[in-house]
A and B are shown apart, each in its own frame.
Chain A
């Protein structure tokens, strides 16, 4: 669900085909019939944006028919844990959880916790605010639990306030019939999928859930994944071979750039960026961000080691290891928030490195308007992208609303090196770091980012070398000396990786994050990557052929944490440490050696902690995790069916309609996710949803997506001849019924209109797009791949022009996968007439103001 794996990850899909050949059943739940559906045993067509409803139906079936994996749920999840009596579910509060504060549109989360614990914190706050980015800033969070144990739990799971019972009541309304009416599928579809999952789970079997941006790019993106987590935990499919929830990431190192983040709210290894504090010390930071128990119990070690890696000798116990050098975040400084700030003149400079917001971001027109407000813009890419050329060529120039002479922004285009022109590591979608060897030097002025940022840093450091200003101390004291190599004096990426992996004061390399100390005697750039340079060897560069290893292939690359290939794999053994079954044997307790052993993977668990280990009440860190609690990142070691902390929009997923929807929320009184981030303004108007006047002006659901033949906004594919020819033109996919309704002819042109813009696309009328019956009405979907733009061998309008900015408040990702639109036959008007067309729609829908 939420993934079109055959199209977007074709090479990964070989394993699905292989599993299928061995008898696995493949189910594809997706609004469209895609190349993945074509290979599936069953395709269920659902309305875009109703995944939680569908999954809720599946969860409800599992709960109602008692199909959960009892031993797993009892011991490994928080199913038995009793919640606070003050907690109120969406059932009780008409679509809200307890703690809702309508004045600031945020949840207070005090009531969401385990019974008997104190107020939950997030980033040092007890209220979820927009500057707190869900899990990403709260990976280090969790409640303080004495001895790593929830105060009250009921192993019979019968207590009315225990999680399993709360869950059962919460999902009771997701009946097959109710779900079918929301999703536009058949009730049997829900039952069949639930039955297939349940049948194929348990001791002997496991099922996997695969998702991608079809789940994340929603105002309820995180809760989509939470719903899958609940299902997989109930069925006992986490931490076991053949199970899991597989996030298929779309870019070579998007996983790595989250782990070692170029993200505003986290530091490497998901350590939160500090917030402004009354008492801005390291101790306060650790106290407010790290629970005392579980792997995060050692947050202070991780943080001190990071500070030592960055500020080296300058970081001492006396100066709190330069903790004060870190800048603070106190609001949403994520991409879209910053682009809006830019539009208002609050940002002077921008650096776009391999990124192309002028066509790649939602509401591209707003993005370009924001870029025009910059003083300076730096773009690094293989060729000038639409972003680099926004001042000269854009749809706005074509419309006549801007001219190059009218744009003050100074633009630098710097050519970049390709992946074969530099050494370095990518982290793939399964946390595996794989090293790339440099094949040759980049041409002309092209340079690697390593070379560029290092030299830029050196120039800036030189210019500030004599500064007395305290704000320049962090940059002056930064460790910035690396061995240089090659024609262009490039810092050796191998040395950078060694810094990330970490070493002791004496220069010896660290083996794993267990070695990290909070006294400044170790340095480590990213605690989860500690050990990737173990023994002074670049472990990510290991390339022992897969054919010479077993299927785990542990001598190929290196996976964080601790080169673990299946995370939480303690769960592959039963509470006593025996494999759940011979068939699904993976990690188990070996009594004779007194340690965890496995088929070849490392245990994601303290290696010699016996299954019957019972932590003392005063234990901290990993020592506080019992021998039968696999989820060591959580303070209680349990998988969370219910999330007492970490999320801004509720401890459980609930179905909310997308920001723009032709239907009312049939389950709750609350139409959309109450915490979603919206930015109503002239350049970002929203369409009325069902039940509001003007909703019928944009009657169709619009979904954007990718094709196998192209890559994202197209910079790396529209410019490559062999790919450009395969999908040469922007097209939209519509059903024969919609085509008949709107007079669209196959192969000819259509204009898709939203309140943001109007674009033209060739029409593909296809049986693969199905009108669905939802709430007694027919729903039509307009599918639009978004690969095109103004630069390249093949060009065309960009579907991203149409989308509004409406974000999931946990992670600030916009709802690309569903909005509403209208579609007309024929090409779009040119010049000012396009603006007039959009204006007329705005007026009719009443969204002008």
Chain B
């Protein structure tokens, strides 16, 4: 069974807009968290005080109902002879310093500090909206995925369906919340709050096609400059979610940033899921019949 879940742009007819998205280039993220704040301020997302986590400079922990942009901080020690440094620190140069016997520790080591702003991926194949029973989650005319706060009844199905752990239920509210890619601003031809605020343009907003081309050029440049670890994440369609509306340039493996290396839309397996459920139902029917009708008495 193969379902055609790509309902955009077809269902919007003439009202369809170009698909909009984010390209988050983490190689120029300075970890300022302007995106987190601008998002909260625009969308009136409540405070979520979680105390000192010790997770480098990240005290917001993860994406969730009260955090639609989240900046990850990863501190890494790298061997001095690492030529695939990837960070913008020239680690190779450390070696000379060590030879001089000046640095007393991290002998042979350099530091790099990765920062990356995470957000809802607005998947092409979006499990959350597919499993949503109420239609609260829907795909907009911009190809984005939005929870409608006037519809959501807090069934919570989307929460475990999302392969990125983006959605969560707001405790005192009962509904599920996530990034809307600033649907209201988009309808007003404005950039989403996070992208507008981002000081270094690490978060770039635009038409997805154009962003993908830009990302390819950027990747080529970084790799030419010797950034062997640079990679694009979810920029293509040949992955388990058929590409994302929000994709990333990373400087290490996705899981280092808390992202799944191979995310898959669960609904891809819907055929086998329904088949198994159907078969099990038939088996149950057969069992019932056997028990009742097949007995000796």
User: Known: A708-B32, A735-B105, A770-B106. Is A40-B100 also a contact (CB below 8 A)?
Assistant: no
Q: How would residues 77 to 109 of chain B score, 1 for a CB under 8 Å from any chain A CB and 0 otherwise? A: 100000000011110010011001111111001
Q: Is B51 an interface residue (CB 8 A)?
A: yes
Chain B positions 40-70 with a Cβ under 8 Å from a chain A Cβ? 40-41, 46-54, 56-57, 59-60
Tell me the complex Cα distance, A773–B101, Å: 8
Tell me whether B103 and A188 are in contact (CB under 8 A).
no
Tell me whether A771 and B104 are in contact (CB under 8 A).
yes
User: Known: A6-B32, A38-B112, A186-B100. Is A11-B54 also a contact (CB below 8 A)?
Assistant: no
User: Known: A725-B50, A764-B54. Is A41-B88 also a contact (CB below 8 A)?
Assistant: yes
Tell me the complex Cα distance, A184–B87, Å: 23
Tell me the complex Cα distance, A747–B55, Å: 9
Tell me whether A767 and B75 are in contact (CB under 8 A).
yes
User: Known: A768-B75, A772-B103. Is A725-B47 also a contact (CB below 8 A)?
Assistant: yes
User: Known: A35-B30, A38-B113. Is A726-B36 also a contact (CB below 8 A)?
Assistant: yes
Tell me whether A762 and B52 are in contact (CB under 8 A).
yes
Tell me whether A185 and B97 are in contact (CB under 8 A).
yes
Q: How would residues 186 to 197 of chain A score, 1 for a CB under 8 Å from any chain B CB and 0 otherwise? A: 111100100000
One of A395-403, A588-596, A645-653, A716-724 contacting the partner: A716-724
Chain B contacts for A38, CB-based, 8 A? 30-31, 87-89, 112-115
Q: Is B122 an interface residue (CB 8 A)?
A: no
Tell me whether B32 and A14 are in contact (CB under 8 A).
no
Q: Give the most central of A11, A13, A180, A726: most B CB within 10 Å.
A: A726
Chain A contacts for B249, CB-based, 8 A? none
Tell me whether A723 and B97 are in contact (CB under 8 A).
no
Chain B contacts for A10, CB-based, 8 A? 30, 32, 34, 199-200
User: Known: A35-B30, A188-B97, A773-B104. Is A728-B89 also a contact (CB below 8 A)?
Assistant: no
Tell me the complex Cα distance, A184–B100, Å: 11
Tell me the complex Cα distance, A762–B51, Å: 11
Q: Is B182 an interface residue (CB 8 A)?
A: no
Tell me whether A17 and B200 are in contact (CB under 8 A).
yes
Tell me the complex Cα distance, A735–B59, Å: 20
Tell me whether A35 and B115 are in contact (CB under 8 A).
yes
Tell me the complex Cα distance, A766–B199, Å: 26
Tell me whether A729 and B111 are in contact (CB under 8 A).
no
Tell me whether B104 and A772 are in contact (CB under 8 A).
yes
Q: How would residues 1 to 44 of chain A score, 1 for a CB under 8 Å from any chain B CB and 0 otherwise? A: 00000110011011001000000000000000101111111110
Tell me the complex Cα distance, A764–B53, Å: 10
Chain B contacts for A436, CB-based, 8 A? none
Chain A contacts for B57, CB-based, 8 A? 35, 707, 727
Tell me whether A187 and B100 are in contact (CB under 8 A).
yes
Q: How would residues 736 to 757 of chain A score, 1 for a CB under 8 Å from any chain B CB and 0 otherwise? A: 1100000000110000000000
Chain A contacts for B75, CB-based, 8 A? 766-768
Q: How would residues 117 to 132 of chain A score, 1 for a CB under 8 Å from any chain B CB and 0 otherwise? A: 0000000000000000
Tell me whether A729 and B52 are in contact (CB under 8 A).
yes
Q: Is A642 an interface residue (CB 8 A)?
A: no
Tell me whether A14 and B51 are in contact (CB under 8 A).
no
User: Known: A10-B199, A728-B50. Is A771-B105 also a contact (CB below 8 A)?
Assistant: yes
Residue ID in chain A nearest B67 by CB atoms: A725
Chain B contacts for A839, CB-based, 8 A? none
Residue ID in chain A nearest B52 by CB atoms: A729
Q: Is A782 an interface residue (CB 8 A)?
A: no
Across the interface, B49 reaches (CB within 8 A) one of A192, A709, A725, A766, namely A725
Across the interface, A185 reaches (CB within 8 A) one of B77, B101, B102, namely B102
Chain B contacts for A771, CB-based, 8 A? 104-105
Tell me whether A728 and B52 are in contact (CB under 8 A).
yes
* Nearest chain B CB to A300 CB, angstrom units: 46
Chain B contacts for A186, CB-based, 8 A? 96-97, 100, 102-103
* Tally of chain B residues near chain A (CB < 8 A): 48
Q: Is B33 an interface residue (CB 8 A)?
A: yes
Chain A positions 31-69 with a Cβ under 8 Å from a chain B Cβ? 33, 35-43, 45
Chain B contacts for A42, CB-based, 8 A? 89-90, 93
Tell me whether B105 and A770 are in contact (CB under 8 A).
yes
Tell me whether A727 and B102 are in contact (CB under 8 A).
no
Chain B contacts for A188, CB-based, 8 A? 93, 96-97, 100
Q: Is A440 an interface residue (CB 8 A)?
A: no
Q: Is A505 an interface residue (CB 8 A)?
A: no
Chain A positions 632-674 with a Cβ under 8 Å from a chain B Cβ? none
Residue ID in chain A nearest B96 by CB atoms: A188
Q: Give the most central of B30, B41, B88, B103: most A CB within 10 Å.
A: B30
Q: Is A498 an interface residue (CB 8 A)?
A: no
Tell me the complex Cα distance, A37–B91, Å: 12
Chain A contacts for B51, CB-based, 8 A? 728-729
Q: Is B266 an interface residue (CB 8 A)?
A: no
Residue ID in chain A nearest B40 by CB atoms: A722
Chain B contacts for A45, CB-based, 8 A? 103
Across the interface, B77 reaches (CB within 8 A) one of A17, A721, A767, namely A767
* Nearest chain A CB to B68 CB, angstrom units: 12
Q: Is B219 an interface residue (CB 8 A)?
A: no
Tell me whether B49 and A793 are in contact (CB under 8 A).
yes
Chain B contacts for A736, CB-based, 8 A? 105
Tell me whether A737 and B105 are in contact (CB under 8 A).
yes
Q: Is B201 an interface residue (CB 8 A)?
A: yes
Tell me the complex Cα distance, A44–B46, Å: 40
Residue ID in chain B nearest A723 by CB atoms: B37
Chain B positions 1-53 with a Cβ under 8 Å from a chain A Cβ? 28, 30-34, 36-37, 40-41, 46-53
Q: Is A107 an interface residue (CB 8 A)?
A: no
Tell me the complex Cα distance, A473–B219, Å: 72
Chain B contacts for A481, CB-based, 8 A? none
* Nearest chain A CB to B117 CB, angstrom units: 13
* Nearest chain B CB to A34 CB, angstrom units: 9
Tell me whether B47 and A39 are in contact (CB under 8 A).
no
Tell me the complex Cα distance, A14–B196, Å: 13
Tell me whether A747 and B89 are in contact (CB under 8 A).
no
Chain A contacts for B36, CB-based, 8 A? 722, 726
Tell me whether A731 and B52 are in contact (CB under 8 A).
yes
The chain B residues found within 8 Å of chain A, CB to CB, are 28, 30-34, 36-37, 40-41, 46-54, 56-57, 59-60, 75, 77, 87-90, 93, 96-97, 100-106, 109, 111-115, 199-201
Beyond A38-B87, A42-B89, A771-B105, 6 additional pairs, beta carbon < 8 A? A185-B102, A708-B31, A723-B37, A727-B57, A747-B52, A773-B101
Top 9 A-B pairs ranked by shortest CB distance? A747-B54, A186-B97, A721-B47, A729-B52, A38-B113, A10-B32, A10-B199, A6-B30, A11-B199
